[in-house]
Homo-oligomer: A and B are copies of this chain.
Amino acid sequence: MTDEVRWLSEDEQRSWRAFLRGHRMLAEALDEALLVHGIRLSEYEILSMLSEAAGGRLRMSVLADMVVQSRSRLTHTATRLERLGWVERHSCLEDRRGVELVLTDAGREALENLSRVHVTSVRESLVDQMTPEEFAVLGQAMAKVVAALGGGTER
């Protein structure tokens, strides 16, 4: 009753480790690039999602799902961004339980600069380190992971 485990082959192990290690280093690099400008990747993502949403606004829970953060975490982070003046909370009129987070003009302006910094580091650290084909495969493979782990709006 104790066995049945399918261990990883040598190659699989090597790939898995590279993935883990690579992601950690990448996350570090991306955070560092943004941190100079007073923000970190997880916060940047929030602003970025808001900027692409209609009206620059999204409901807390929808946003939480998009960036794969717990609702509680988003609450705290939103408070921080609010203090920076980049975001505002508006309670929904339709569903009065809900709260919408809205990107302010200042937030949009900040984002414009941040996105330059961010894209540049994503390129340098990730995209430009591999062939376009490799990057495409990587994206396609990870999309499968997303789908498998409940890519929808579940949590």
| Cβ proximity bits A130-155 to B, threshold 8 Å, 1 near / 0 not | 10001111111111111011110000
How many copies of this chain does one complex carry?
2
B-facing residues in A14-36 (Cβ within 8 Å):
14-16, 18-26, 28-29
Most chain B CB inside 10 Å of its own CB: which residue of A19, A142, A144, A151: A142
| Cβ proximity bits A38-82 to B, threshold 8 Å, 1 near / 0 not | 000000010000000000000000000001100000000000000
A5 at the interface (CB under 8 A from B): yes
Nearest chain B CB to A143 CB, angstrom units: 4
The answer on a CB contact under 8 Å between A137 and B134 is yes
| Interface SS, A side | helix
Q: Indicate which residue in B15, B122, B150 contacts A138 across the interface (CB closer than 8 Å).
A: B15
